[in-house]
Amino acid sequence: MYTGRTVFSQIMDFIPKYEFQKCVPRYHDNYKVQSFSYWNQFLCMAFAQMTYRESLRDIESCLNSMQNKLYHRGFKGKMSRSTLSYANETREWRIYADFAQVFIHIARSLYKDDELDVELDQIVYALDSTTIDLCLSLFPWARFRRRKGAIKQHTLLDLRGNVPSFIKITDGKVRDVNILDDLIPEPGSYYIMDRAYLDFTRLYTLTQFCAFFITRAKTNLQFRRLYSHPVDKSLGLKCDQTIVLTGINSAKEYPDKLRRTRYYDAETDKILTFLSNNFIIPALTIAQLYRCHWQVELFFRWIKQHLRIKAFYGTSKNAVKTQIWIAISVYVLVAIIKKRLNLDLSLYTILQILSVTVFEQLPIRQILTNFDYKSIDGEPHNQLLLFDL
């Protein structure tokens, strides 16, 4: 019988704690923290994310009910909801944002050799945002509309492993296209975006950095066709053209050539028009790459359904951002565990298993596989067997 550390303690082994200690001094001096450290705050919030705790009182009750095991799960000292609430309200959220970047760096290195749905050697990113609705009376700093509050989570998703490489949390009023100003384009990489990011000045910046983009064209696009390339219409392709923009402003904002591809999507019964600055890959590949953009939507749906980022433990901007960044850390941590243990389970299944076994003292690899961990001692049974084994 295994009598070692708890599952939660084994999960924490996948976290480089020394990297966390580097993040704390960047924004705050740790000398004022006496009992409830930054690390304890992270452990409490990570525990809440993994086990779907509803409130601070819920977190306090669950942790203190296992007081004899807290130390072996990495906690130092007793946890109270008032202490955790104060920590979320006052401690710098950027500490946990920086620490999430450490997770992201580790995960991307683990998934860098994964195959894409499209045969490409380059890095492919999907860029999009999701709106998180907030109650305006509780979150007055997040005014979105007259009677509605909201924030936006902008995400650049690396499609090899579906690991976010860039995340920014802004007010709900910030336009999606403005996030292109915060990106550092990687030469040779592909950026897949929808029509919300159609800004030719910013797209031309990507071209100047030798990065490729694929986006949807608007119906009122003004252009002049230079060349038409042959396409296989049996594959759904309608046309593959080289164009230049002729609009008064767009021609100045993007003076170079563009590739315009039209594709019939049989699933939605729609004809989609794509714009790209890549003239090398096949026209069908452009349509297939844009279809991969759906992965970022699935990422948003996953974290909203399976992590706590729609209901918050605090009402201040600092508390909200702290909770979101720790939720992202938990998502990437589960992806790291999946890769390092070479599991065939989905991230959802892994998180579900971990959520009900964090108090157990079992090997983590054992509970995440179909192996029967109950040992058979071979001794005769006191009760007769109904069926022969």
**Same domain? 264 vs 342:** no
Q: What's the pLDDT score for residue 110?
A: 92
**Which residues constitute the domain of residue 340?**
7-94+313-367
Residue 151 inside a domain? The answer is: no
Is 267's pLDDT higher than 90? no
Q: What's the pLDDT score for residue 279?
A: 94
- 65: tokens are 């009910």
Is 82's pLDDT higher than 80? yes
Q: Alpha-carbon distance 75 to 59, whole Å?
A: 13
HSE-up of 242 (CA within 13 Å, CB side)? Answer: 10
Which residues of the chain form beta strands (DSSP E)?
124-134, 143-145, 148-158, 163-171, 190-192, 212-216, 223-229, 237-245, 258-265, 270-276
Quote the percentage of the chain above a pLDDT of 90: 62
Smallest CA-to-CA distance from 183 within 159, 215, 218, 211 is with 211
**Same domain? 256 vs 320:** no
Residue 334 inside a domain? The answer is: yes
Q: Alpha-carbon distance 285 to 345, whole Å?
A: 29
Residues 28-79: tens digit of each pLDDT: 655 566 678 888 899 999 999 998 898 999 988 888 877 766 665 666 666 7
Residue 207 inside a domain? The answer is: yes
Residue 83 inside a domain? The answer is: yes
Smallest CA-to-CA distance from 91 within 154, 139, 27, 34 is with 27
pLDDT band at 379 (very low <50, low <70, confident <90, very high): very low
- How many domains would you assign to the chain? 2
Is 386's pLDDT higher than 50? no
Q: What's the pLDDT score for residue 1?
A: 45
Is 378's pLDDT higher than 50? no
Q: Alpha-carbon distance 225 to 241, whole Å?
A: 7
Residue 226 phi, psi dihedral angles, 5° rounding: -100, -45
Residues 15-26: tens digit of each pLDDT: 888 898 888 888
Smallest CA-to-CA distance from 93 within 139, 10, 28 is with 28
Residue 72 inside a domain? The answer is: yes
Average pLDDT over residues 338-345: 91
**Same domain? 198 vs 281:** yes
**Same domain? 282 vs 349:** no
- Write the secondary structure of 320-341 as one string of H (helix), E (strand) and C (coil): HHHHHHHHHHHHHHHHHHHHHC
Smallest CA-to-CA distance from 79 within 57, 65, 69, 64 is with 64
- 135: tokens are 């109650």
Q: Which of 1-5, 56-60, 167-171 shows the lowest per-residue confidence on average (mean pLDDT)?
A: 1-5
Residue 380 inside a domain? The answer is: no
Average pLDDT over residues 8-20: 88
Q: What's the pLDDT score for residue 313?
A: 93
**Amino acid symbol at 271:** I
Residue 143 inside a domain? The answer is: no
Angle, nearest 10°, between helix axes 56-65 and 81-90? 130
**Same domain? 217 vs 263:** yes
- 193: tokens are 């975006």
Q: Alpha-carbon distance 372 to 382, whole Å?
A: 22
Q: What's the pLDDT score for residue 366?
A: 87
Average pLDDT over residues 355-368: 86
Q: Alpha-carbon distance 278 to 259, whole Å?
A: 7
Residues 199-240: tens digit of each pLDDT: 999 999 999 999 999 999 999 999 999 999 999 999 999 999
pLDDT band at 384 (very low <50, low <70, confident <90, very high): very low
Q: Last residue of a domain, which of 233, 267, 286?
A: 286
Quote the percentage of the chain above a pLDDT of 70: 89
Residue 122 inside a domain? The answer is: no
**Same domain? 268 vs 352:** no
Q: What's the pLDDT score for residue 21?
A: 87
Q: Alpha-carbon distance 152 to 172, whole Å?
A: 5
Q: What's the pLDDT score for residue 359?
A: 82
Is 382's pLDDT higher than 60? no
**Same domain? 264 vs 341:** no
Q: What is the mean pLDDT of the chain?
A: 87
Smallest CA-to-CA distance from 103 within 319, 365, 340, 335 is with 335
HSE-up of 172 (CA within 13 Å, CB side)? Answer: 19
**Same domain? 244 vs 317:** no
**Same domain? 200 vs 272:** yes
**Amino acid symbol at 282:** P
